[in-house]
Amino acid sequence: MSPTIIIIVAVLFIGSFIYMRYMMNKQKQAAQKYSGDDALNKTPEMQQELIPKYFSSLEKQMQGAPIDAFTECAHITTVGNKVASAAATAAKTVAWAAVGVKAKYQEADHASYLVLSGDELHYLFFEEGAPKEHLIFDQTRLLNARVGTITNAEKVTRMSAIAQQKPNKLSIDIDGKPVDILYYNEVRRMPETTLAFEKNGMDTQAKFGLLGRYFKKKFFEKYPHLSN
């Protein structure tokens, strides 16, 4: 290998390392900016700013119902027949599942969210940008819900949903069978827009993280028995 090629490779390697450290520092600074209670108290205003721009599909699925707080969660893997059974006993458990199915949205593929709306908890699942599941758990079900424990089996079978995220587990009883929901302390799922290349991309991503903290705050205030 010629000395020129070696120099070019070395320069590229050093440049990549410097850029990576620079981006990591920017990300850390943005996270610190929104880490305190002052930022948490301003989340409602930030949420109103972020929803129309990045999470408009949530608004469309909520059909005018208020979005008090929301966070990202893992796709529910225990729905199946339990949802059909719940629909027979609680009219509001499954709603609007077919609304806008053919519409195109801005969210990334396979994104799931929990939305707190009044006393109800909505679960929204988007597959390839289209809404596939919309479940509504009412106050009665939430008052009877419990904090779940992530099992060793789940750590293996749901590794992609658990790795590096330390999720919370919510177990809701539907006709004697638990529906388990893993939800996160932050919103990580990126919309189609690449925030890293936006002017304030790191700042926006830090605000996304704040949304999860605010969800837990509001959710636990309403249902303290579900706090960790």
Q: What is the pLDDT of residues 150-180, one digit of tens each?
A: 877 776 666 656 666 678 899 998 878 888 8
Tokens linked to 124: 């929204």
41 CB neighbour count, 10 Å cutoff: 11
Which one-letter DSSP state was computed for residue 110?
S
| Distance from C-alpha of 228 to C-alpha of 165, rounded to nearest angstrom | 15
Length of the chain: 228
- How would residue 80 be classed by pLDDT, with cut points 50, 70 and 90? very low
Parse the chain into domains and list their residue ranges: 34-226
What mean pLDDT do residues 16-23 have?
55
Q: What is the pTM of this model?
A: 0.72
For residue 71, give the nearest of 39, 111, 37 by alpha carbon: 111
Sheet strands side by side (includes 146-147) = 146-147, 168-174, 177-183
| Distance from C-alpha of 166 to C-alpha of 188, rounded to nearest angstrom | 13
Contacts of 11 (CB under 8 A, 6+ apart): none
**Which range is most confident: 24-38, 43-57, 82-96?**
43-57
Amino acid at 175: D
| Distance from C-alpha of 162 to C-alpha of 168, rounded to nearest angstrom | 10
- Say which range, 51-60, 86-95, 117-126, 172-181, has the weakest mean pLDDT: 86-95
112-138 pLDDT, tens digit per residue, is 899 999 999 999 988 777 788 899 999
Name the more confident of 82 and 78.
78
For residue 174, give the nearest of 134, 144, 132 by alpha carbon: 144
Model pLDDT, residue 87: 39
Name the more confident of 46 and 6.
46
202-221 pLDDT, tens digit per residue, is 778 888 889 999 999 999 99
Tokens linked to 191: 């919309």
Model pLDDT, residue 17: 53
Model pLDDT, residue 39: 82
- How would residue 145 be classed by pLDDT, with cut points 50, 70 and 90? very high
Model pLDDT, residue 207: 85
Model pLDDT, residue 82: 39
Tokens linked to 115: 């939305």
Model pLDDT, residue 37: 77
